[in-house]
Structure formats: structure tokens, C-alpha cells
Structure 1
Amino acid sequence: MDSVTMDYYEQMCDTDEDDEESMRIYEGGHWTWDEKIQGLNFVSNNPGTETIAVKLPKKPPTGTIQFRDNIDIMEQMRFRRRYQRKIKVGQLDVVTLQDVKDIALFTAPVTLLSPKLINLLHIPTTERFIRALIFCCQYYLQIAEEMANRMKEQDTKIRTPACDIIEKEYRDNLADVRLLVAKEYCTMIMGGADTRRFHHMGYSKRKHSLSDRDARLFEMLLRMCVQIVWLALGRKSFHHIELEVNRIFKSEIFNATEHNLRTGYISKMSKSERNVLLGCVKQGFKLNTCSPLMNEVMCERNIDYRLLALGVVKYPELSPRLKYMLLAIASPEEELMNLGVTVGVLGMHRSLFDIMLHPLPPISAKSKLKSSIPSGVTASTKSASSISQKSQNRIIFPCIMLPPKERKESYFPSEFPIDRETPRHCSEEQLYRWQCRLIKLLRPRYSSCLHRSSNYPDSIPMK
């Protein structure tokens, strides 16, 4: 899109300035949560000012949730102007996890969003959790494709003892990568570290268990994570990602995605594929069956104890394998490409993608499109999206190359380190933008009334 067309859409977006003017009434205060009305209260810092309340839906949907994928140019310009992360002076213009989260939040249905979910997505533990999930799904798809090719080669090649060694290495790598997700997930469900305020028994864990609300919050988080992982992996293999994420979190019995799609992909796997891809599976009674993530933590195998606190505890010495995993889940995105670490599109230059992180076509395809359009006519959304669809077939990020395990076993030291890694704080500016957008979207649907505010840990200071 040329500069003239871009300026035209920028001017068209200026017609929505009245929406921004309406948000100025919320300056000089903060938002709090009211348990009685299940809604947000705006508390002004000026004494004597009345409180504005906005009610939220009591029960978010738990069925099929559709995100918007075909965003028109007007919406893209509005997103870039108001909600896209702004590059600071001296900062590299690369794709970060915040960029992917911003697109997922912008395209999510309003019924899925809630203040708790937005706050939960902007804490360091959840950032490590999502980074580890992207890393895990990318490596799973990579190994699944490799195993499918190996099974095809068995028709013309003889299986040797070296095949068992290679497949055992794949299985161990997948188990360690799943463990990176499992340790963060355990922290979240137990309410540890910065997730205490989201615990189902309250911040001090002394209230009655709100299991229904907790289940719905994590159901929304899981659906949001599937969308984030799909975006971070270049919009490829959505159903594979959704099936695998639901399987490792809910087990095969409670995999709602598999029950809806009825693919039967596990039954179609060979014995070798199941041993490599499914990991540590322990079947039990339906209600007592643990998810594969929990099984990885409690699996009877040699697990390096440093994996269980990677990114949280600062270890004095790490093997090249553990350093690679640490960089994948906790290092700044600006350093990923220089260090040779692959986590989807994270760390790649944003100039390689459009506003909604669609991979841009090569320069030759761009020139062909420009030459085929008459002068004075801009490219349509359909033609641009078709070229973007073709560009998705090419590999946009390299494969994961995990360093091998150390031959010597790691024993427990005489004393464990107590120093903690410096947490990477999320963008408070983006958090504030998405909370304000949620309030702006909900105000036309829910009536406003006057209520007294109540203190809640999730209050957001207004800037």
C-alpha cells in the first residue's frame, strides 16, 4: 500500500475521535472490581465525585468461540493507530509476544474478554507460560512431521536399532519441552508468585472455592492461548495445535475439540508415533485421570531438577541445552535471532509481516502485484489476502535445534540457589489500552448506575 492510500485511511480513521473524547471522563482515577454487581467501578481520585459502574456478563461462553481473521483495512488502521505497540527510541522493531497478544485481543469476541483475563495475560508467569507453549507446539509439530515421514519410509527401508535411539531422543526432548509448560501451569493453578490474586480461593486462599468461575477463567485462557500460539506459528496447523493443546491440558477423555471434530488422529498413529508424541500417559478412572502435563511432572524418569525452576531461579551453571530453553521462555525477543533460538515468529523483524502479522510475500510477488494494477487503482483486500495466503506455504522461521543432553547425570547439590531471575514485566501501557477498550465496548450493552467502590487487587491506575 502506497503512502497516499495509507494517508487516506488515516484520515478516515480520524472520524472516530469522538470515541477517544468519551474516554477522557475516566482520567484521574482507577478501576476496581465490585463482587456484588460483577462489574467494574471507576473511582475518581477527586473527593466528592460519583462512581461509574459498568456491569459485565456473568458467565462467558464455553462452547465454540470464533475469532475474527479477515480484518478489513479500516480496522487494521484503527488497530495500528490505537492498540499496536509503539516502538520506543533505541528499541529494535521486532515481533514480541505482546504484539501477538494484541492481535489476539483485538480479534477476540467481546463475550470472551473480561478484566481478569486481560490482567492474567499481562503478568510475567503467564508470559513464560505462553512462550513455553509456543515453543512446545512448534517442536511438537516439527517432530510429528518428522515421525510421519519416518513411518512412510518404513515401507521401503528396514528398521534398525538406530531408529530406536533417534526416536528415544525425540521422546525425551518433547518430554522436557512439555515440562517447561507444566511448571508454569502448576504455578498458575496453585496461585503461586504473581498469580495469587487469580486463585479460586482468593488472594489469601481462605475463601470458599469458586471452582466454576476458576474453570471458566482457565477455559477462556486456554482458548486465547490456542489463538496466540496459532498466530505465533505463522497461522499454520490450527486444528493440530488445538487438538494437542486440549489433549495435554485435559487428557484424551476430556478433549472437547476431538469430540467435536472426531478426527481419530491418535488411533491412526502407529505404535512408534504414540510412544514419541504422546509422552507419559497414565490411564485411570475418568475423574481421577491426570492431564499429560501433570504426568510429565510425576513421570518416572530422570528429570533435571533445574528444569522445574528455569526462568525463576538463577542457577550458577547451566548446560547448553538448559541455556537454550531458558532463552526460549524468558529472554527478550530482541536477542532471539542473534542467539539462534527459534520461538515461532518472535524476534523476527516486523517489516516481514503486515499489521495483523500475516507473512508478506517476497519482493518479486509484490512487484508483480503492483505491475498488474492500473495506475490510480489500489489493491483490493481479496487480492492482497490471496497473495498472503500463498506466502504462508513457505517456511518463515527455522526449525528448533535442541542441544543434546549431558552424558553425566546432574545430582542434587548440597544447597539450592536462592537468587531469583529478574522478571520481565509486561507492558502496563498495553494493559491500560485493552482495559479501556473493553469498557468502551461494554458500555453500550450494559446500563450504567451509581455504586460505591470496593478494593480489589486488579485495580488499574489511570494515567
Structure 2
Amino acid sequence: MADDEDEGGFGGLYEDGHWVWDEATEALVFVSDLPPKPVEAIHIPIKAPTGTVEFRDDVDLIEQIRFRRRYQRKLKPGQPDIITVQDVKDIALFTAPVNILSPMLINMLHLPTTERFIRALVLCCQYYLQIADEMANRIIELETKVRTPQCEVLESEFRDNLSDLRLLVAKEYSTMLIGGGDTKKFHHMGPQKKRRSLSDKDARLFETLLRMCVQIVWLALGRKAFNQIELEVNRLFKSEIFNAVEHNLNTGYINKMTKEERAVLLGRCLRHDKKLNTRSPLMNEVFCHREIDYRLMGAGVIKCHQISPRIMYMKEAVAGPEERLVELGIVLGIIGMHRSAFDTMLKPLPTSNEIGKSKASVSSASYASKSSVSRKSQIANQKVYPDIVLPRKESRIISFPSSFPDDPEDIRPCSETQRRRWQNRLMKLLHPYGR
């Protein structure tokens, strides 16, 4: 205390403040004379963006050239020219409105966990649309046919397949929720989970990520059935009660389903609790009381021995290299297909036969416009990729082993180059006249 008193007692001066005696706490308190540091205010909208956000899908030729030169993924020597998840993400980021983009969203989209999540969601939505069409045809056929016990067996297989594919999505989504693996720094309470929860910021990140994933799935599935994809994805993550897209569109698609369709498409793990206790259908799949192959929970993350063909199919679809998908007979929308069959915006190119027919049919301006419209409808309705054929489930579910494997799989990294490109583009869009 001698030094303090020499400088003026308890009120001795320092370079950036002085000490004072606080009578309330009966202790010395250091008071800084420096001005408070400015705190950067984060402006977050009161209501997070929902499904009303519109992406551009009419990119002109000049914009396509700009995208191809500056933002399209560049091939490395010897690398096959096939469509990857990164290519689909690039299109979604390029056509997204600026008001939903953020540096955090771009960083999160370029994580291995998020990429596995996107691929699992593409697989799940593709099979959902496939089975929805199949069930619609079966319901129409019931007008002239009689249901047999074989119908129950086949529909039970459809239901189990959809449940397993939803579980693939749920396991990656659960990792994101708890901030596990590479998603730790995106947890709403910080990497150490000790910070105060920023609910508004977390809600905005979730809503924008969900809307971006809907767009990515729609692009990966050849730009078809957008409303079905958006409704089903929002139902999976928010349940029927909180499905804002359904509340806005008011389609009533679940009430219009027959009993057989509802049993197959919605599964057996639905729970109708009170609003406060409601879990999303994805979480219901995790906690569902049904026979679940435990190896599904680690597909693409943990090495498992004695993998069945079914688990191998799902593992390669979620975490395998895209260049091997076609070789292994795995269908994941347009992912894994050759880029030569698509234009810059990943729209399927017309075949040479269709172009020849359209040229032969053109005889006047009116006929030319009609032929172009019909040709566009043919391209939209043609099958760009085959249906998914999942391997059958094993007749006997493998019981839990005495110890679970802990050897990690070789995690495929995301493109750091593309991440930096999109971050730089966002900075230019947000600060066009900045330094």
C-alpha cells in the first residue's frame, strides 16, 4: 500500500484509471478513465426468414459467364468432371438473396457434417417423392383391384426404408444440435457451451440454413416438386404444428392422404403430445421404439466391421466420394452424374434427337414458340436420374456388441477455396463501396 499512498493514497492516479474505496463492498475498486469500447450491434430481424424467401432461377447469360469464371469449382488435373455437392451448393449460394446470407451460414455450409447432412436429406427427399408417387398410383389402382396381404408386406418395406433414411438425416442433425465434431463453434451457447444462449441469432441461423437446404435439395433433384420438398422438410424439422410453410400455403396435404398413404409416408414414430412437449419427427425417429440397426448411427463417421449391403449403400450415399456413386449404382439425384449433360446452372440439356425434332417442326414464329414450350415441358418431365433401389434389410437385426468401434472414418474435407470465394463475394455485396 506504500506505493499507492505515495501516489495519492487510495485515489492514486494511474495511466488508465485510479483506485477508489467502495463503501458498499468495503473493498478497493479500480475505476478506468478510458472510454468504454464500442460494442458492435448485430441487427437481427424480429422474425426470421421463412419459406417466402425467393431464390433467382432466371440467371441470364452474362451472369452465367460471370459465375463460371469467378465462382464455379475449378477441376484439378485428372479429376473427373462430375457434379458434386459443392457444385449444387455453389448454385444455391449464387442465386440466394443477400438478406439471408451471412458469414456464419457460408462457414457452416462448408463443414463435413453439414455436407453429410445435405446428402442424407437429398436421399431422403428423393425416396419420399418416389414412394409418394408409388402410393398415389397404388391408391388409384385400388378402384379396380383388391388389396392382398402382399400389399401390406410391400408397404411395410417402404415405411421402414423411409424411417431409416430419416434416421440418417437425424443423426447428422443431432450432431449439429449438440455442437459435436466440427459444429462446436456454431453451438448457440458457444464452443464451451458456457455463453448466454442467443436465441434470436440461433433462430436466424436455423431458418436460413433450412431454407438453403431446401433449395439445395430441389436443385439436386432436378428442379422438380419444390412445394412437396419444402413442405416435407419443414414438417420433419418443425412437426405439423409449427410447419410455417403449410400454414402459409394451407394445402392440407396430410389430411388429403388416405390411411395407407399416411401410414407409409409419415411412418410409425409419430407422437401427438402437447405443444410444449412436441418433438420434431426427426427426433421421434431417434427415440422411436422399433428395431434399429445401431450401425446406421455411425454411417460415414465411425468404422464398422461386417457392414451389410444396405448399410454400405447408405454410407457411400452420405459420405462416399461422388465419383463412385454411379459406379456403385447409388442414386443421389443429379449428384455423381457427368456435367456434360447439364448447363452452367445444372439444368439438363436437351438431347440431340429432341433438338432435331424441334428444328424440323419450326415453320413460323408461332409454331416456334409452341415447339419451344413443348420441348421445355418434355425436358421438365423426362427422368433425369433413375429411381432408388435400396438393398433389403437383414432378416435378423444384429444385437449390440460388447464394445462399440471408435475408429473414425476418413472424413472428406470441404473445399476451402470455394468457402473463401463465397465469403469474399458476400463482403463485396454487403460493402460495395468499402475499401
Give your verdict on TM over 0.5: yes
Is the 2:189–2:195 Cα contact (8 Å) retained in structure 1?
yes
Distance, in Å, in 2 between the alignment partners of 1:147 and 1:103 is: 32
**Does 1:281 pair with 2:267?**
no
Q: Where does structure 1 lack aligned partners over 5 or more consecutive residues?
A: 1-33, 39-55, 375-379, 449-463
**Bigger CA drift: 220-229 or 307-316?**
307-316
Cα deviation 1:382-420 (Å, max 9, x = unaligned): 997874453121001010000001112201112111100
* Alignment root-mean-square deviation, CA: 2.2
- Equivalent of residue 326 in structure 1, options 299, 315, 323: 315
1:27 corresponding residue in structure 2: none
Distance, in Å, in 2 between the alignment partners of 1:178 and 1:292 is: 9
Distance, in Å, in 2 between the alignment partners of 1:381 and 1:201 is: 57
Distance, in Å, in 2 between the alignment partners of 1:403 and 1:276 is: 18
**Does 1:292 pair with 2:295?**
no
Matches within 5 A, 1:9-408: 36-37=39-40, 58-59=44-45, 61-63=48-50, 64-279=52-267, 280-368=269-357, 387-408=375-396
Question: How far has the Cα of 1:269 moved from its partner?
Answer: 0.6
- SS state at 1:229 partner: helix
Is the 1:191–1:198 Cα contact (8 Å) retained in structure 2?
yes
Question: How far has the Cα of 1:367 moved from its partner?
Answer: 3.6
- SS state at 1:79 partner: helix
Question: How far has the Cα of 1:161 moved from its partner?
Answer: 1.1
- Aligned length, in residue pairs: 392
Is the 1:247–1:292 Cα contact (8 Å) retained in structure 2?
yes
Cα deviation 1:95-132 (Å, max 9, x = unaligned): 00000000000000000100000000000000000000
> Residue 125 and residue 273 in structure 1: after superposition, are their counterparts in 2 closer, same or farther (change >3 A)?
same
Structure of larger gyration radius: 2
**Bigger CA drift: 432-441 or 385-394?**
385-394
**Whose relative contact order is higher, 1 or 2, with alpha carbons under 8 Å and at least 6 apart?**
1
Percent identity at matched positions? 61
- SS state at 1:223 partner: helix
- SS state at 2:256 partner: coil
- SS state at 2:177 partner: helix
Is the 1:133–1:229 Cα contact (8 Å) retained in structure 2?
yes
> Residue 74 and residue 213 in structure 1: after superposition, are their counterparts in 2 closer, same or farther (change >3 A)?
same
> Residue 265 and residue 297 in structure 1: after superposition, are their counterparts in 2 closer, same or farther (change >3 A)?
same
Question: How far has the Cα of 1:373 moved from its partner?
Answer: 8.8
Distance, in Å, in 1 between the alignment partners of 2:256 and 2:297 is: 33
> Residue 303 and residue 441 in structure 1: after superposition, are their counterparts in 2 closer, same or farther (change >3 A)?
same
> Residue 61 and residue 415 in structure 1: after superposition, are their counterparts in 2 closer, same or farther (change >3 A)?
closer
Is the 1:200–1:211 Cα contact (8 Å) retained in structure 2?
yes
Distance, in Å, in 1 between the alignment partners of 2:348 and 2:373 is: 10
Question: How far has the Cα of 1:286 moved from its partner?
Answer: 1.1
TM-score of the pair, normalised by structure 1: 0.81
> Residue 273 and residue 206 in structure 1: after superposition, are their counterparts in 2 closer, same or farther (change >3 A)?
same
TM-score of the pair, normalised by structure 2: 0.86
Distance, in Å, in 2 between the alignment partners of 1:155 and 1:65 is: 41
Cα deviation 1:219-268 (Å, max 9, x = unaligned): 00000000000000000000000000000100000011111111111001
1:9 corresponding residue in structure 2: none
1:416 corresponding residue in structure 2: 404
Amino acid at match of 2:341: L
Distance, in Å, in 1 between the alignment partners of 2:153 and 2:430 is: 56
Distance, in Å, in 1 between the alignment partners of 2:87 and 2:48 is: 25
Cα deviation 1:262-285 (Å, max 9, x = unaligned): 111100111111111012110011
Question: How far has the Cα of 1:211 moved from its partner?
Answer: 1.5
Distance, in Å, in 2 between the alignment partners of 1:83 and 1:191 is: 30
1:10 corresponding residue in structure 2: none
Is the 2:72–2:90 Cα contact (8 Å) retained in structure 1?
yes
Amino acid at match of 1:86: K
- SS state at 2:277 partner: coil
Distance, in Å, in 1 between the alignment partners of 2:316 and 2:44 is: 40
Amino acid at match of 2:198: L
Distance, in Å, in 2 between the alignment partners of 1:192 and 1:381 is: 54
Is the 2:361–2:371 Cα contact (8 Å) retained in structure 1?
no
Distance, in Å, in 2 between the alignment partners of 1:90 and 1:345 is: 21
**Bigger CA drift: 365-374 or 401-410?**
365-374
Is the 2:48–2:203 Cα contact (8 Å) retained in structure 1?
no
- SS state at 2:419 partner: helix
Is the 2:48–2:207 Cα contact (8 Å) retained in structure 1?
no
2:13 corresponding residue in structure 1: none
Distance, in Å, in 2 between the alignment partners of 1:393 and 1:135 is: 20
- SS state at 1:287 partner: helix
Distance, in Å, in 2 between the alignment partners of 1:355 and 1:114 is: 24
Distance, in Å, in 1 between the alignment partners of 2:422 and 2:377 is: 29
> Residue 388 and residue 358 in structure 1: after superposition, are their counterparts in 2 closer, same or farther (change >3 A)?
farther
- SS state at 1:236 partner: coil
- SS state at 1:290 partner: coil
Question: How far has the Cα of 1:35 moved from its partner?
Answer: 10
